[in-house]
Chain A
Amino acid sequence: MKSPNVRLFELLRTNAERFPDKLAAVFPGREQVTFGVLDDHSDRVAARLRKLGVGHGDRVAIFHDNSLPGLVWFWGVQKVGAQTIDVPTLAGKPTIQGVLDEARPKAIAFDAKQLKQLEGDDGVKLPPLWLSSAEAADAAKERGARLHTLDEILATEQATCDLPAGSADDVALVVYTSGTTGRPNGVMLSHTNFVLNLQAANELMHLGADDSILVVVPLYYIHGRMQLLLHTMLGGTLYFSAGFQFPAKVHAELTEYGTTGFSGVPYHFKQLLDRSKIARDPPPSLRYVLITGGALTSPELRRLAEALPDVGIHLAYGQTEAAPRITWIGPQELFVKPGSLGRALPNVTVEILGSEGTPVGPGQIGEVVAGGPNIMKGYVSGDEKALGKIDDAGRLRTGDLGYLDAEGHLFLVGRSSEMIKSAGERIFPQEVEDVVGRHPRVREVAVIGVPDPTLGEKLVAYVALHPGPDIELSEFRAHCLQSLPFVRVPKSFEVVDELTKTPSGKISRSAIRKAVLEGTPVGAAKIAEDS
């Protein structure tokens, strides 16, 4: 394996030298950028950031849907040795504020069109340095922020190739994820974490500069960042989809762009199978697909294989804290080992720990624990050990339950993370609970994900109410829609007398989820039907 002493921006520099005129990224509407121009433009952004005193060890929040400016800001920040913080644009204001308060970025890059999502009476307090476009000028003036626009930076700054301070072992970026603790955790990942994980993953998948991918996930999810970084390392082109609203359109994009690859979560594949004619017209250039973020059932996997007979199906398991891949299984073994999530990546170790905290043998169920150079530096809060996520041996306690077979294949039997994966979105339960909890009749609330054949997981809110007259449960839904996008609004609301608590008195989402899955009462109270 190559030396790990590579920082992420060097992946871009290398391929800008190799392929200056090759397309690095294409966006909906055909806006596009070559490796050479992306490198040049992000150098100019870096030059400005240096003048502004943003550098090694500082943080810059990126609040962008997939867009060319978002990409240029990302690389500019990387080139001054600062850390990017990916902020999910769909998250509610309290979640966004929580991220900014904890990570304390020196600057924020955002699309001016998204500013309205941050404003209002409960507006988000932003760092004083704004990286955006001229449309944000009035708001910057009102709020006393210093605005630097990309157009002006590109027109006035010179591209230089200065090397920032620091090393490959420094934190490169922060991604927020939700464990079992209620609030989101900022996962700090180093350049080395990513580079070694990308190299290990590609030792198995053998992708190269001729590969390209259709990106349907936002770059602020680790799944999206991984695709960006992998293709930057390969010198391959990223084609950004207009989105998964229209699976038939995604099918058309795969065909029109002629991408060789596609990576999605189970929801995306089910949508393509059910709501597009991909089986009738398989995209001719597509040669591999990668399923992450969960497994398709065996019948669904067979359907996918029948729909795309000339396409290699790969499956990977990981966690954000592992930058992100832990195991992988390829087309040769996928149908030989049904249910397997594959074996550990070349430089990753996977162990199963029993209740005593010691490794157990093949076939025995325990907690999945991963070690290797891809395991995160820690959480922004510094709580990774206190939360039991990193043990004294430096291993990642995934919280997932599973077993290894005699050949080292991993099989999962249960998941502990409370991050809800619904319709391809990663949803923090707390952000939805914050909104539901603001309804005057709600005394306490827990939001959990329950298995759903279409969505992957369906959001269900369990609420205990203050006394009062009968209330239509649809009122809660309308209340949530005022503050949350549709996909983040619970699909049903269940009223209970009391929610299950931990001994210390905190609401236990895991106990509630367990009760729901087992069909036992939640919080030892009656469950009302959704109206």
Chain B
Amino acid sequence: MSIEQDLLTYIKKELAPNSPDLDVETNLAGVVDSTAVMEVVVWIEGKYGFDVEIDDITPENFGTVRALVNYIEKHRKK
């Protein structure tokens, strides 16, 4: 499965099952609250094997699924 699919599946199942319309461009601000962001960080670190830097947890990197995909791809290649 692609990173995009993985993320959508994870968020819809574990964090926001009442947001069936969630897509790659949905603003996650209304979907994922501050405690859920922490879970996303832990999930990314476990699944993609890199440490998420504090300064990287920003709306620019975590604001949408598309932003998250770009962020993960950039860091996985390192």
Q: Is A483 located at the chain interface by the 8 A CB criterion?
A: yes
Contact: B33 with A248, CB < 8 Å?
no
Question: B18, B38, B39: which has the most chain A beta carbons within 10 Å?
Answer: B38
Do most interface residues of chain B lie in helix, strand or loop, or is the interface mixed? helix
A482-B18 contact in complex given A248-B55, A275-B54, C-beta closer than 8 Å: yes
Q: What's the least CB distance linking B27 to chain A, in Å?
A: 11
Q: How far is the CA of A455 from the CA of B61 in the complex (A)?
A: 23
CB within 8 Å of B: which of A411-466? 422-424, 454-455
Chain A contacts of B55 at CB under 8 A? 248, 277
Q: How far is the CA of A275 from the CA of B18 in the complex (A)?
A: 28
Q: What's the least CB distance linking B54 to chain A, in Å?
A: 5
Residue of A nearest to B55 (CB): A248
CB within 8 Å of B: which of A237-267? 242-249
Q: Is A478 located at the chain interface by the 8 A CB criterion?
A: yes
Q: Is A485 located at the chain interface by the 8 A CB criterion?
A: yes
Q: How far is the CA of A424 from the CA of B38 in the complex (A)?
A: 14
Q: Is B58 located at the chain interface by the 8 A CB criterion?
A: yes
Q: Is A285 located at the chain interface by the 8 A CB criterion?
A: no
Contact: A246 with B33, CB < 8 Å?
no
- Interface membership of chain B positions 17-28, coded 1 if the CB is closer than 8 angstroms to chain A and 0 otherwise: 110000000000
Q: How large is the interface on A (under 10, 10 to 19, 20 to 34, 35 or more residues)?
A: 20 to 34
Contact: A248 with B34, CB < 8 Å?
no
Contact: A487 with B17, CB < 8 Å?
no
Contact: A245 with B16, CB < 8 Å?
no
CB within 8 Å of A: which of B16-54? 16-18, 29, 32-39, 54
Q: How far is the CA of A158 from the CA of B55 in the complex (A)?
A: 48
Contact: A424 with B34, CB < 8 Å?
yes
Chain B contacts of A422 at CB under 8 A? 35
Contact: A481 with B58, CB < 8 Å?
no
- Interface membership of chain A positions 94-129, coded 1 if the CB is closer than 8 angstroms to chain B and 0 otherwise: 000000000000000000000000000000000000
A487-B36 contact in complex given A245-B29, A481-B17, C-beta closer than 8 Å: yes
Residue of B nearest to A114 (CB): B30
Contact: B35 with A487, CB < 8 Å?
yes
Q: Is A133 located at the chain interface by the 8 A CB criterion?
A: no
Q: What's the least CB distance linking B35 to chain A, in Å?
A: 5
Chain A contacts of B35 at CB under 8 A? 422-423, 455, 486-487
Contact: B62 with A246, CB < 8 Å?
yes
Contact: A487 with B59, CB < 8 Å?
no
Return 10 A-B CB contacts under 8 Å, by A number.
A242-B29, A243-B29, A246-B57, A246-B59, A247-B54, A248-B58, A249-B58, A454-B38, A481-B16, A482-B18
Closest 5 CB pairs of A and B: A486-B36, A244-B34, A423-B35, A245-B34, A487-B33
Given pairs A242-B29, A486-B15, 17 additional interface contacts (CB within 8 A):
A242-B59, A243-B29, A243-B34, A246-B62, A248-B58, A271-B34, A275-B54, A275-B57, A422-B35, A454-B38, A455-B35, A478-B13, A486-B32, A486-B36, A487-B33, A487-B35, A487-B36
